Amino acid sequence: MPAYYKAFRSANLGSSLPNLSTELDSVRVYQFEVHFEGMPGVRNPGRLTLAAKQVSPIGVTVDDILVHRVNEKFYYPGKPTPEEVTITFDDLYNGASRTLYDWFKSIYDNSDGSITTQKAQKCSIIQLDGDLSVKGSTNMYGVYPKSWKESEYNYSTENDFHTIEMTLRCDFADHK
């Protein structure tokens, strides 16, 4: 085998070298952005992009409809149910924590116990490729926060960044 590689390296292939294909490259799990549109209760409800450390899997489950016939069972697709999504945001100095809490407070206000049914229009997880151009997106529509949690304050983890963890619920999701 070594003789083959040695002969190949010494061969004069000229300009007909094969191009390196990137058609089969995978989307990296660390190349994404989180965008919100139409968030009620925040100062600027337009488009908002926040840094996030992690996004839990986004998915939809379809319940089965079971039909019994004499000695047989048949299954049909039933009602789809979107799953909850948990996003861990970096707590940035520019007020990401306050913006996320204002959004949560617009749904449930602790000070007076009021609950509203306002939802964000859309939350998008934008997938990027190696040169940071958009490769795809997963969009969740009718989004509202179910929980808001700050990360633990701890002197022993001096090199970790503070984060905000939010659990979101949506009406439906699609992938493009």
Average pLDDT of the residues of the chain: 80
Tell me the pTM. Answer: 0.73
Q: How confident is the model at residue 85 (pLDDT cuts 50, 70, 90)?
A: very high
Contact by Cβ (8 Å): 173, 140: yes
Q: DSSP 3-state helix, strand, coil percentages of the chain (rounded to 5)?
A: 10, 45, 40
Where exactly are the structural domains of the chain? 27-151+161-175
- What's the CATH fold of domain 27-151+161-175? Pnp Oxidase; Chain A (2.30.110)
Q: Which two tokens stand for residue 69?
A: 């016939």
pLDDT for res 4: 47
The answer, yes or no, to whether residue 62 has pLDDT greater than 70, is yes
Q: Which two tokens stand for residue 150?
A: 């700050």
First to last CA, the chain: 45
